[in-house]
Each structure stands twice: as structure tokens, then as C-alpha cells.
Amino acid sequence: MRGHQPLTVVSPVADPDSALARDLFQLQQVSVNVDRKAILHPTSLTLQSGTLYGLIGHNGSGKSTLMKVLARQLSASTGQCRFKGRELDSWSGRAFARQVAMLPQHLPVTDDLKGHELLAMSRFAWQGLLGRQRARDRAAIEHAVALTGTQPLLSADIGSLSGGERQRLWLAMLVAQQTEVLLLDEPTSALDPGHQLEVLTLIRRLAVEQHKCVVIIIHDINMAARFCHQLLALKGGRLIAQGPPAQLMQPEPLQQIFDVAMEVIQRPNRAPLGVLK
């Protein structure tokens, strides 16, 4: 790490509601190799309910690879990845879709759909063979709309919505899916600061109020420190640090993670703020 000792991966500090937390994902020495090249080195990790995890690090550090393993979009080359105590491969596609939902970085083209049509698609994993919407499906969608404040967007063409409005609508779709886990790949990358705040506030609410396990890939370290319960730092395909924002938001850890000198401004009753020297 260019003259620095590797950071020690530390055990997560318990949150106040840790008594309610349940282990969902358990990774033991999971690695991913492509063409004999290690994309993700052996990684051991436990992810719990009621927690918002932020994956941070350089582009190419292994964040997307780790998320794709969790989403079953990429198979591990070595190690074990379990969800609720079962190997990922032992889950059927529909059963897993009822448990884990993923929002990709590049959203599918849905410009010709209305908002309510997109939300209706969220219930596919729960509907019967004929795909008919039932009372419980309608209730799940109505709850998701109320939670995300997307009622005004239901009759709109998705192509006419702003970036923040689209993200809220897609999050509503994931909420209506009623999964315990949300995997979000850079959900704020194309948003202005105001919409970033709006979307991240909603994501944090989903973790806390709905007691979901939420994993997001996020590049803005200050936004990550403000909203996430735990930060997972990857570098060169290795998980080099894990802990609450207050622990990682220090000059030395930040320099080892990002290879740039940073100062940290400590603010009473607010998240620390990292700035370039």
C-alpha cells in the first residue's frame, strides 16, 4: 500500500438496536477469480438486519464484484457464501427474489412505462402462476408508495421524471418486493446533492424502520459517513477495513483506503467531514 501498513479488519461496533439484529449473509473466505486473476481476494464477512452498510474504495477495488456475489449474479471461486444459514446455490430463484432485491447502477430502460406499471412488476416473485395481482400485492405496493412518498409519480411517464424521482420510484419497487435485503449499486451517482440527501435519507429509513439489511456502493465518503452504520473499505480486491464511520473517518485510514492525504473535521453531534489536504 505504498509505504503504509495494511489496516486491520475490525469487528463491527454494535448499534443500539443490535439485540434485534439477525445474521443474514455469512461469507467465509469467499474469493472470485476471472481468467486466473483474483478480482476479490478471500473475504470473510457477516451482514446483519437493521444495518446500512456502505461499500467504499477506488474504482476497481472489488465493490461491485462483492455485491454481485451477494446478489447471486456471480459465483464465488472459493469459500462459502451463506444466506440465512443456507448456501446461496441452494435457494431457488423465486425464493431468493423474495428475500434479496438489487438495484443495479445502470437502470433498465423503462421510459415508456407509467410509475404504477413499474411498481406492479415488483410482485412477480410473490404472484401465482397466472401472475394475477392479489389483495396482498396491492397492499404491499400501497405501503411502499406511502413510505417513499411516490403517490404523485404513479401516473407519470417514467421518462419524464427527474433522476431523484426515478430513484425514489425504483426504491418503492424494491420496498414493494418485501425483501429483507436491499443491494444498491451507486444509487446516488447521477444525482445532485439535494437528491442525494433525499434518496439516502430514504435508504437509511428503510434500514432502521423496516429493519432491512441494506448494502450500498457509495463514492462520496462524507455522505457514507453521514448515513451508513458501517463502512466496508475495499482496495485491490481486499476488504482492508470495516467499522463505524467514526472509526474509519480518520486521516490515516482514509489515506490508506484512497491513497490521498485527507484531513478530518470533527463536528459535535454530526458526522465527521473529510476534506483533501
Q: Band the pLDDT of 163: cuts 50, 70, 90.
A: confident
Looking at 67-81, 160-174, 213-227, which range is the least confident one? Answer: 160-174
pLDDT recorded at residue 124: 81
Mean predicted confidence (pLDDT) in 219-242: 96
**Residue 261 and residue 277: Cα distance in Å, rounded?**
6
Write down the residue that cell numbers 407519470 correspond to. 156
Q: Smallest Cα–Cα separation from 166: which of 153, 184, 185, 176?
A: 153
Instruction: Decide if pLDDT at 105 tops 90.
Output: no
pLDDT recorded at residue 62: 95
Torsion of CA 117, 119, 124, 126, to 10 degrees: -140
Q: Are strands 213-217 and 51-56 parallel, antiparallel or unpaired?
A: parallel
**Residue 27 and residue 209: Cα distance in Å, rounded?**
26
**Residue 153 and residue 140: Cα distance in Å, rounded?**
17
Instruction: Report the percentage of the chain scoring pLDDT > 70.
Output: 91
Looking at 70-84, 117-131, 176-190, 195-209, which range is the least confident one? Answer: 117-131
Mean predicted confidence (pLDDT) in 202-216: 93
Instruction: Decide if pLDDT at 13 tops 80.
Output: no
The number of residues making up the chain comes to 277
pLDDT recorded at residue 10: 39
Mean predicted confidence (pLDDT) in 239-266: 94
- Average pLDDT for the chain: 88
Give CB contacts under 8 A, 24+ apart, made by 222-225. Answer: 222/271, 222/273, 222/274, 223/188, 223/196, 224/54, 224/56, 225/249, 225/271, 225/272, 225/273, 225/274
Mean predicted confidence (pLDDT) in 167-172: 89
Q: How far, CA to CA in Å, does 1 sit from each of 5, 6, 11, 137, 236?
A: 7, 7, 22, 51, 10
Instruction: Decide if pLDDT at 199 tops 80.
Output: yes
| Structural domains of the chain, ranges and CATH numbers in brackets | 1-92+219-277 (3.40.50.300)
pLDDT recorded at residue 19: 60
214 within 8 A of 184, measured Cβ to Cβ: yes
Instruction: Decide if pLDDT at 153 tops 90.
Output: yes
Instruction: Report the percentage of the chain scoring pLDDT > 90.
Output: 65
pLDDT recorded at residue 128: 57
Residue 21, exposed/middle/buried by CB under 10 A (0-12, 13-18, 19+)?
Answer: middle
Choose the most confident range, by mean pLDDT, from 12-21, 31-40, 116-125: 31-40
